[in-house]
Amino acid sequence: MSKALALVVVLFFVAFCGECYGELRVGFYKGKCGITDVEEVVRDVVRIWHFTKREKDIAAALLRMQFHDCFVNGCDASILLDGNNSEKKALPNSSVRGYSLIDAIKEALEARCKGLVSCADIISMATRDAVVLSGGKWYNVETGRKDGKVSLASNVNLPSPSISVSDSIKVFGSKSLFGNKRLSATDMVYLLGGHTVGNTRCSLIQDRIYNFNNTGVHDPTMSQWLFSELVKKCPRVPSNNVDNIIPLDMKSPSFVDNSFFQEIQKGNGVLQIDQQLAFDGLTKKIVGDIIKDPNFFTKFGEAMVKLGRVEVLTDGQGEVRTSCRVVNKKSFFFGLFN
């Protein structure tokens, strides 16, 4: 092949692919469902859910869902599968929400273009749309994933809220992306910034408030203001077994912004790992740079795109489920008898 012809081939591939990474690309479904804009269908359902059903915290739910899905067997929607021993049944996933929204999106898409859009792609697109509705900025989502066929609670091994920064960096760095790349420490910090709309419960931070590392006192890295607020919301002895919900960003819990990083720099990080991001030498500078960076929204979106590249299944792997809650019947019988 001549150099001129080779150049033409390369330019044709780039033009055809658009923005792509591995076998994922922006606009994967464009033109594949007649005049229907797949991403617009997803966006409309998320918008209805956000406003009509009054679920203003749907961004927190979907950010958590995408993270929990991608960190177990990759971004393959295995977290959506029902079953007595599926990932849904694992303790770390007991607080994951948003399943009914994903079902509604899938139903709307199946009515227009049956068997085309994967549940794994729906999670990524819906999360982006929910982030935008919560004050974040638009970012292009790569699509083209296939859905996994395996979902086991025993495979769920997610980092705990008390993990050290160094161990967290190792966990994030162990996730392989297309092109043999890994999630970096900077990616990790931005992704944990999704806690700006997240929540936890008193039972998960009780030790930080009253008996940090068995010292009998609160975590010394916690500001006095935060300590006072948490004592009000999380009494040492809960009444009537009430386990109150606590926002992870106490200042602007309903908006996707960089206030989370400003707060942890002041000692107002609710989770131990969040607080340590601002104080640990491995990530302190990253947090400081994010606070000063006017391009927070762009870089947060870039980190979400990288998360969506974790160990994905594409053509020749997985399937496009008819229902996000069960594998397709053909796949079930194939797995049962082979």
How is residue 179 written in tokens?
A: 């092109």
The whole-angstrom separation of Cα 3 and Cα 152 is: 50
- Which residues are documented as binding site for substrate? 159
Smallest Cα–Cα separation from 247: which of 202, 200, 204, 191? 200
Side-chain half-sphere of 195: how many Cα atoms within 13 Å? 26
Beta bridge partners of 326: 323
Beta pairing, strands 199-201 & 142-143: unpaired
Per-residue model confidence (pLDDT) at position 181 = 73
Residue 329, CA distances (Å) to 85, 129, 338 in order: 19, 31, 14
- E strand or H helix at 20, and its extent? strand 20-21
Q: In one letter, which amino acid is 202? A: C
The whole-angstrom separation of Cα 254 and Cα 272 is: 21
Q: pLDDT tens across 2-60, in order? A: 544 443 333 333 444 444 444 799 999 999 999 999 999 999 999 999 888 666 789 99
Decide if 153 contacts 86 (C-beta within 8 A): yes
> Which residues are part of the catalytic machinery?
68
Residues in the chain with pLDDT values less than 50? 1, 3-22, 332-338
Q: pLDDT tens across 132-142, in order? A: 999 999 999 99
Assign 238 to helix, strand or coil: coil
